[in-house]
Amino acid sequence: SYGDHHASQCSQLVSYARSYPAVVILGDFNEDRTRCGERLGTAFAAAMPSVEKPTRPRTVPSTKSEVIDHIFVSGCTATKVEVLSSDGLSDHHPVTATIVG
């Protein structure tokens, strides 16, 4: 299933990340932040704005806006995290951050 495959991918990322003192994992996870955080475990902190702006806005009336693009950090800190406007260039809004440490 998709869930099992996604869990396996996250497990592989965590195993790979253990080799490095600082790691940033980001992208379109197709899941909410809580579910992704559970899959990545306590080694990673979610780095998103305190007020969640959808990263995948509603494109047609039958869909809902979602927050499915995330930044997770380990051994460093993300500051100035923002969700910007895609201005129609993508079906997702870009997420940016300054990485410190």
Q: Assess whether pLDDT exceeds 90 at residue 98.
A: yes
Read off the pLDDT of residues 32-87 as tens digits, 9 standing for 90 and up.
888 888 989 898 999 976 667 778 876 666 677 888 888 999 999 999 998 888 88
Locus of tokens 């993508």: 90
Listed as own residue / partner, the contacts of 25-29 with beta carbons closer than 8 Å and 24 or more positions apart are 25/71, 25/72, 25/73, 26/69, 26/70, 26/71, 26/72, 26/95, 27/69, 27/70, 28/55, 28/56, 28/68, 28/69, 28/92, 29/68, 29/69, 29/70
Going by their DSSP bridges, the two strands 45-46 and 23-28 should be labelled as: unpaired
Predicted model pTM: 0.83
In this predicted structure, what is the pLDDT of residue 25?
A: 92
Instruction: Say what the pLDDT of residue 2 is.
Output: 66
Q: What is the pLDDT of residue 49?
A: 67
Tell me 95's DSSP state: E
For the segment 23-33, the average pLDDT, to the nearest whole number, is 89
Domains and CATH numbers, the chain: 2-100 (3.60.10.10)
What is the structure's pLDDT at 12? 92
d(CA 40, CA 84): 25
Is the model's pLDDT at 3 over the cut of 80?
no
Angle between helices 33-40 and 2-17 (to 10 degrees): 50
